[in-house]
Structure formats: C-alpha cells, structure tokens
Amino acid sequence: MKRKDFIKNTALAGIGLSVFPSSNIFASSADTPKIRMAIIGVGARGKGHLDLLLRRDDVDLVAICDVDDRVLKESKAMIEKSGKKMPKIYTGDDYAWQKLVQYEKPDGVLIVTPWEWHKPMIMGSLEAGLKYVATEVILGITLQDHWDVVKAAEKYNAHVMMLENVCYRRDVMAVLNMVRQGLFGELIHLQGGYQHDLRTVLFNDGVNTYDHGVEFGEKAFSEAKWRTEHSIHRNGDLYPTHGIGPIAEYIDINRGNRFLTLCSFASKARGLHKHVVDVAGENHPNAKVKFKAGDVITTSINCANGETILLQHDTNSPRPYSLGFRVQGTEGLWMDVNQSVYIQNKSKKNDEWDNEKEWFDKYDHPLWARWSKETKGAGHGGMDFFVIHAFVESIKRKTPTPLDVYDAAAWSAITPLSEQSIELGNQTIEFPDFTGGQWMYRKPVFALNDEY
C-alpha cells in the first residue's frame, strides 16, 4: 500500500461504527467471533490490562509473556479465578516474546514492558504479520525509533495504538466536548504535563514501606529496575504523553493542525539525590550516583494554527499529583489545578471561577455517559477501560484505531526532541511531520461517537 493511501485510510476510523448493534459490544457470535489477544509484559501495569481483557466475553486470551516468575504466578492466579482458559505462557529469556508473535499470530497484542523494548517489540509484531499492536507509552527512545515504527506501520498496512489513557479521563473528555461545542471559543493556549512525585517508584526494593526505598536497577522491584536509569543518563521530558495527548485532541494535531517547533529547558537535578540522602544517608552507594535529568523540564511548542503549548515534567520533588491542564480560548478557560472553569458572559459571576463540576455534569462526554457502569473497577478511575475497549473494538470492526501511529509518534517524539533542545543550549528544534504533509487533509476521529 502506498504511504499516501495508508495515511488516508487511517483517517476513516469513524466509518463503520454501526456495523454491530450495541447488544453485541461484549458478546461474540458467528458474525462477530471472539478476537485472539496476547499480552507481552504482565507486571503491575500489565495485570491491569489483563483484568480488563478477562472481563470481556468477546476476547480469548491466547498467550501472555514475561520473564518474571513472580508476576507470571500472580497473572495465572487471576486467570484461574476468572474461570477463563489458561493461555499459553511464554518465558525463559528476554526474547521469548518473539516466539509468541510468530507462533500464536494473535489478532491483537498489548506491549506493556520497559520503554526500551517498545520499539523492537512493535517492529517484531508487525514483521510477524500482526495488524493490530497496542503499546504503553513511550513509543521509542530515539527520534529514529519513531520514524522506524511509522514506516513499518505504513509498510505492513498495520495499526499501532498508544494506550494513552488520560485522553479518556472523564474531566478531560468533558472539556473535549466543551471545546467541540465552542464554549471556550477559538483555542489560543494550552498547558499540561506530568507532575507526579515518583521517588517511591524510581526507588523501590519491594520490601520497604512508603517513602523508604533507595534501590534501583537489579536490586530493585518493578519499574525501579529500569525506569530510574533514564534519569541517570537522559535530560529531557521523559514522559510527555499524559499531558500532550489530550491537548493534541483539543486542537486536532495531525488532523488539520500540527506541531511546528519545540524548545525545552531543564532545571538543576537535586530531588533524587536528596531522597537517597534523606532516607539512607550520604554513605549509601546510591548517594554517589549523579542524575542527569533536571527536576523540572519545561517545553514550549508552537502549532501550525497559531496555538502555543506549555508542557512540564516534574517527578522528582515532593508534590501532589497534577497534570496541570489549562485550556484557554477567546471565550474562557479551564484549569485543572484549581478545578475551575470560567466562560465569559456564561459563568455565574464576572471575573470569578465556577467549580468545574457544574460544567462537567452538563457536558459529560457521550462515551462516559454510555459506558460509566462498565468502567467500575477499571484502573485509573475508569480511564483504562476505554483504551482497551477502543483497541478491542477496532479489531472486531476491522477499522483503524482512534489513536493511531501518527499520534503515538508525535506525542512520544517530544522526549528525544526535548533532549536535543536542552543539549543544544535550549535551541528551538523543528518538529518532524510524521504524516508527510497529510495532516492538512486528515479529519478528526477521536471520540466522535458513543461506541469507542
């Protein structure tokens, strides 16, 4: 398939939404057989997705893969409790996943592994003939990784979806509904990011209680085995997609708009070293580690349609969780930090905030209005239900995924681009156009219906 045709077809994700009646959404029949799914990586995050797949009657879990016996044991216990058939287990070495994609040929695969494995696992899945691949964030490490995945998806006429769950957060989607109905007027400026104290994630030995871990690498547990290494060797926005994903949907990035330039700044790096010293003292071996990642990374982006974006990555300091969203237009704005909305001539009082709930109750997105019961018990306040649901439904209907490979590449590429900008003394960097100019012709498709 020619690249232009592939890009054009990915813009047709909304077509065919009425193929199946609503009563068949979670069922299977002769016309809508169960889809065969596999998961690579069933650690803490992977088990959340495993739970969601086990709830669905339209999915057969055919295989899982991990190198950790502990998480495999926990996953098998979950499967046994569900009453579902035990899938084939792939383990033994770091490349057992290759046998899974080659031998099982599932209809779809979820990649829920450390970041550095995402690109090779996506590429291996596509090369094995899989047409639907879903990956946790991030897409790749280098900018070339992102281009390689995009080119592979085009070459094999396959769909690569990033499981960016914040795009489906209830307040985020209510704001999307308000944006599309023109409540904020023309959008001018947007802010977001990842502002989350991760010190207990980056240092975790699986034994100590909250805020007492100082281990990472081989001695550590879960994400601390691998994630902390990125803060030692890299200086940039290491986790941009939670913030940029929703923002990109608000302003139709890759579908009538695109990112043009990027510029990033890094503060000094102090938080992780201070945590080790505070917990274990200056004589602990990890107190000698020099961390490269600045405690606060600030990135500004200019867009083709004139909007400006401010992103911040702040994970190494004591702070409450916040993604720092701000959506500002010619008629008003939303700020999630103070949970408030102000709309000119429509808010209760001039120059005073309304509580966001008053607006969100009225403008709840149709997806949440329809599926709120099904989100009960799903991770991250129900957001996780929607990303898995969208992926499964896309496979069943043989349609492009609502978040596609161009979205994944544009959002995730902020990491290597921010590293480059900081390394060059905060130089403004040109943002690549992964669509090859087709952003001018592609139309918005995300969350334009109440199906998925």
| Domain spans, the chain | 35-165, 167-365+404-440
CA distances to 96, 150, 420 from 147, in Å:
25, 5, 16
- Angle at CA of residue 373, ends 57 and 110, nearest 5°: 45
Q: Which two tokens stand for residue 397?
A: 């209907």
Asked, colleague to colleague, whether 35-165 and 167-365+404-440 share their fold, the answer is: no
CA distances to 13, 79, 94, 183, 389 from 449, in Å:
11, 32, 40, 19, 13
* Low-confidence residues of the chain: pLDDT under 70: 1-32, 209-211
Q: Which CATH number fits domain 35-165: 3.40.50.720, 1.10.760.10, 3.40.50.1000, 3.40.50.880?
A: 3.40.50.720
Q: Cβ distance 259 to 301 under 8 Å?
A: yes
Distance CA 408, CA 159 (A): 11
Q: Cβ distance 98 to 40 under 8 Å?
A: no
Distance CA 97, CA 113 (A): 11
- Please give the CATH number for the structural domain made up of 167-365+404-440: 3.30.360.10
Tell which residue, 136, 403, 412, 137, has the closest CA to residue 259: 412
Q: Taking the model in full, what pTM does it have?
A: 0.94
Q: Which two tokens stand for residue 183?
A: 């409540």
Tens of pLDDT, residue by residue over 204-254, are 988 775 557 899 999 898 999 999 999 999 999 999 999 999 999 999 999
Q: Cβ distance 450 to 367 under 8 Å?
A: yes
Tens of pLDDT, residue by residue over 292-335, are 999 999 999 999 999 999 999 999 999 999 999 999 999 999 99
Q: Can you give the pLDDT at residue 27?
A: 57
- Residue 166 makes CB contacts below 8 A (sequence gap 6+) with 172, 241, 242, 243, 245, 246, 323, 383
Rg (CA), the chain: 22
